[in-house]
Amino acid sequence: MVTPLRLYIAGTHSSGKTTLARRIEMELRATGITVARTGGFAKRAADLGFPKMTRHTAQSTAWIISATSAAILEAELAADVVIVDRTQYDAVAYYLAALQHRGEHPDSEALSRLTGLAQLTCPRPTAFLATVLDPQLPLTVHPGKDPDWTDAAFRQGVDEQLHRTLNAHTVAHIPVPATGHAAAVEAAVETIVTAWAAGVAA
């Protein structure tokens, strides 16, 4: 049995993550690889009553990290490749951006616990893409979104905190600018197909 592979896609909201995930999923399925995709845990957290976006807390962050990790493990039961649309590091970035938005400083013990949890539950994936926000691009507005969705400063703060966190913890990743999505899809698919073929041949 070949160990399932993981592709992580991180980034602030409306920066192209889900579009990337869909394109990669479609390309992988065309090769016969079984793919599962996870995501949507911020909305589930909010539905449960956890604060989100600019109101994010250490508790809501811990819940999202744990829920994401559980969903990945469950998806691996039936898929060759799991595409993680929003990683555990995204939750940490939203927490830090929320604190920055509110003018608060992170509790060092809480932050250490959260980053440690993200590192523990986010082992080295086959590929890790992190979108880079182009603030000049128009924001896609969806009905029913949290009012903070259109807060440009908060959105940019998440982008900055995400890349700062990934670099601070030396998380190997590929930054994906708005003009680089096609190349990122090609690179991710090639990496995964090669790794999968090597696993099958072993």
| Confidence at 107, pLDDT banded by 50, 70, 90 | very high
In total, the chain counts a number of residues equal to 202
Query: What pLDDT is stored for residue 201 in this prediction?
Result: 81
Confidence of residue 92 (pLDDT cuts 50, 70, 90): very high
Residue 182 lies in domain? 5-201
pTM: 0.94
Q: How does 8-25 read in b/e, with b if 16+ C-beta sit within 10 Å?
A: bbbbbbbbbbbebbebbb
pLDDT (mean) for 64-89: 96
Provide the number of structural domains found in the chain: 1
Contacts of 34 (CB under 8 A, 6+ apart): 78, 79, 80, 81
Query: Residue 5's beta-bridge partner residues?
Result: 81
Task: Give the CATH number, domain containing residue 143.
Answer: 3.40.50.300
